[in-house]
Structure 1
């Protein structure tokens, strides 16, 4: 997920887990309604039971996969930043008064509108950094992901069961990243995310950082975050909360976004 961002100082180690498993693929046999009675194989992806319950608590993975466009707005120090993502191909556009960051499906690009030094997160990773945080837990339905149980998180006397997420080699920019989703044992709603980061120099790549998901909003039948709060951490445990990231004007629809907006403008530069 390769995926998390400079501004939020990502990093982490995972709890010891049990047997790692990939999503199984069940094969169903259907018979076409013609005289040839030809058999057609239909592959249906399945997930661990506890993860499926988490998906269902947030609206269901089938509804998520029917969506084609996601948009949200965040308040940044220099103004509002609007993010639009094509959910089918993950092309992205982050639009702000002072800059634009995009991903055309192959390469990220950057446009500085002020001429001043840009001190934000690296556009190479920044185009989808918050996207991966924001689209939890549904982003975990992507291909190339392996699941296993993780040691539960205990915080302020409450125990949150955990699901460890790792990646096949070659999946994403940093397949060595690890995530742990912690959920409410009664409601199965996601409560915490632990994660490691492997692209930020000087950070312990085995240490778990944390974000808390405690404020959800219903958008077209899906529970999506209204706020995500980063936490300090010590010994793979969250400590004290930081300033939350707040998401407004959230839109998720079954209509694909206009493809031309993801194309690099003439004045922008590709980021290597």
Structure 2
């Protein structure tokens, strides 16, 4: 009988130890999950300070007032920065089927970091971590385009007009004009020297005089890697194709891009169709989400 009691006691002790070990492992697992996510922890006071500064700066000029009214119509600069990480599927498809760029991307709108995953092969990715551009393709055919240039380019389509709120952006009010039967307030945005990777770029926004939404914009590409001796590509014009509202922000669901002309509406040859889908905001991403993954190649060094 004593032996039976001893065995029973030993069993209870071992069972208790096992339970404690299991509980410990469960705690450790929970802690591990928490450390694999990065929160969009931008203090409200920081966002409000940035928004107030933009409001004050923009509303000192007529061109700035037009841009500010467009930001308000699209949901507001405060909401743009408060919503979290911005994700969307951006399918850039030239009509001639050359240079298709189809990726799902996530942007840190606060610091302009970006990560793209190929739609055809999600294991292939590229991005910008704020200091370095990187790419990790499956093979040499994964990205048949300049991923360093493209890392933030889609943001300058889908992020209009919010992407023009910063320091170093110069605005000029141009005469109102009719575009596709609707009067437009027109502003031109240029950049100070040294701002961004292509400071000679410009954008000309057509802001609907009734809705204050961006109906279209003209732009040039002056990326130095493409034009090492200066200059730029011919001007293009991109026209919004439908809108949707996600977490209070109004986005285009697509664009059509044309060569720009001096004819009525300025629409020359139709050259690119862009579809924008799967738009969302998230408060978290994986830890080191925007950083260069193991095996990736750094591009800007």
TM-score range, shorter chain: 0.7 to 0.9
Does the aligned pair in 2 maintain the 1:194–1:210 contact within 8 Å?
yes
What secondary structure does 1:73 align onto?
strand
The structure 1 residue matched to 2:90, chosen from 43, 52, 74, is 74
Cα deviation, residue 230, structure 1 = 0.9
Counterpart check, 1:222 vs 2:249: yes
Task: Kindly provide the CA deviation profile for residues 189-228 of structure 1, in whole angstroms up to 9, marking residues without a partner as x.
Answer: 1111111211234996274211111311100011012112
Q: Answer with 1 or 2: which has the greater Rg.
A: 2
Name the counterpart of 1:264: 292
**TM superposition score normalised by structure 1:** 0.75
Aligned 8 A contact 1:67 1:87 in 2:
no
**Correspondent of 2:281 among 236, 242, 252:** 252
The one-character-per-residue Cα deviations of 1:133-171 (angstroms, maximum 9, x if unpaired) are 110011111222111112445444444221111112221
Structure 1 or 2: larger strand share? 1
Q: What is the aligned partner in structure 1 of residue 65 from structure 2?
A: 49
Q: Relative contact order (C-alpha < 8 Å, sep 6+): which is higher?
A: 1
Instruction: Write the distance in 1 (CA, Å) between the matches of 2:69 and 2:52.
Output: 21
Paired with 1:242 and 1:58, the residues of 2 have a C-alpha distance of 27
Match of 2:160 in 1: 136
Pick the structure with more helix per residue.
Answer: 2
Give the CA RMSD over aligned residues.
Answer: 2.7
Q: Deviations over 1:49-96 (max 9, x none)?
A: 222211111111221122331001134788962101111222111011
SS of the residue 2:285 aligns to: coil
- CA deviation map 1:87-128 (0-9, x unaligned): 122211101116211112211001111x23455320121111
Q: TM-score, normalised by structure 2?
A: 0.68
Q: In the superposition, relative to structure 1, how do residues 143 and 81 fare at CA in structure 2: closer, same or farther (>3 Å)?
A: same
- The answer to whether the aligner puts 1:99 opposite 2:121 as a matched pair is no
Structure 2 contact 92–275 (Cα < 8 Å) conserved: no
Q: Unmatched 5+ residue regions in structure 1?
A: 1-41
Structure 1 residue corresponding to 2:188, chosen from 152, 164, 173: 164
Contact kept? 1:92, 1:102, Cα under 8 Å = yes
Contact kept, 8 Å, 1:86 with 1:257, in 2: the verdict is no
How many aligned residue pairs are there? Answer: 229
Unaligned runs of 5+ in 2: 1-50, 59-63, 94-99
